[in-house]
Amino acid sequence: MKELRLHSDISDRETVFYFTTCGWMMWNWLVSNLALGATIVLYDGSPFHPDPSAMWQMAEEFGITVFGTSAKFIAACQGYGLVPKDRHNLSLIKTILSTGSPLVEESYDYVYTSIKEDVQLSSITGGTDIISSFAGGNATLPVYRGEIQCRALGMKVESFDDSGKPLINQKGELVCTRAFPSMPVNFWNDPDGSKFHNAYFSDYPGIWTHGDYIVINDHGGVIVFGRSDATLNPAGVRIGTAEIYRVVEAFPEIEDSLAVGQQWEGDERVILFVKMNEGEQFGEELKKKLMDAIRSGCSPRHVPAKTVPVPDIPYTINGKKVEIAVKKILHGSEALNKDALANPESLLFFSDLEVLKD
């Protein structure tokens, strides 16, 4: 109720849509709107059927006021070259919500130039394990490009360094230093609580560590750089994968990408996998442009040691890139929980790659 009524300003006057499966926490979020008296819209199927503007057509037809989706969907709309504001009457939409992965700065630009100028764009972050958000929207605050507006009410969220000291304007671990109402208390089939402890409390005793790599800035905004367990660490410098994706996926030739770390000669090197758009080829000229863009848009540390074209990028059913599974495969381990993937067959390509043996 807190997230719906206070963070999202939803009342019984709203018509709310969130593109989600029943297995994702956003399903719980969506149906809970009924308790406020709001109308909800359910959708099953591809969001791009029968054409890429299907969701925006639906928003117009049903008078949707709160439109929830994923960062991937927004990026895909941009990739299709859609300008929904020119084709659809979206005057009733007051809020666009995005979650599932970090919403990059360019997606903020796209929303405000191509979808709607007078809209609250709320990127939110949390977890299915807590059925809640750690940071989200606020209708009374400004929207800053590339930032989540504020930390969530009832969540004592901080960014910690390795020694457990809070950080401002520096990258660190997302932690919650106080108990919160939706905090799980144990795992099934974990009689001594060791699995539960190792999942959330082993890094900082007594403090929930969620596994995201973030910055909290001096005006209270939050920037998420990706999963901390997927954080790249070349030469001991921590790099969020979202920083690389923001640059790479701005290239029109590239549909998608995945960055992971590979242990190499006592260090870690960055490996970038790219999925090309239909009709595009990966070659040395594009590779050089990519490396130059990453170097100038991020830093020399971000530049991949290897860039490899792939037929597909693995995703969970909830639309999140699967970095950890690919990293395990590169190091000879088996990827677990394949049932959670939307395209598990995509993992086959990453096994025993010759190009990564030198």
pLDDT tens, residue by residue, 335-345: 777 778 889 99
- Per residue in 130-183, pLDDT (tens digit) is 999 999 999 999 999 999 999 999 999 999 998 999 999 999 999 999 999 999
Radius of gyration of the chain (CA): 20
- Domain 157-225 matching CATH 2.60.40.10: the answer reads no
C-beta of residue 290 within 8 angstroms of C-beta of residue 280 = no
pLDDT in tens, 250-304: 899 999 999 999 988 888 899 999 999 999 999 999 999 999 999 998 888 899 9
Checking if the pLDDT of 21 tops 90, the result is no
Q: What's the whole-number average pLDDT of the chain?
A: 92
Query: Do 136 and 149 meet the contact criterion of CB atoms below 8 Å apart?
Result: yes
Bigger pLDDT: 56 vs 339 = 56
| pTM of the model as a whole | 0.79
Q: Which CATH architecture group holds 2-149? A: 3-Layer(aba) Sandwich (3.40)
- For residue 31, the SS3 value is helix
The answer to whether the beta carbons of residues 242 and 104 sit under 8 Å apart is: yes
Domain boundaries defined on the chain: 2-149, 157-225, 231-356
Say what percent of the chain tops pLDDT 90.
73
Architecture of the domain made up of 231-356: 2-Layer Sandwich (3.30)
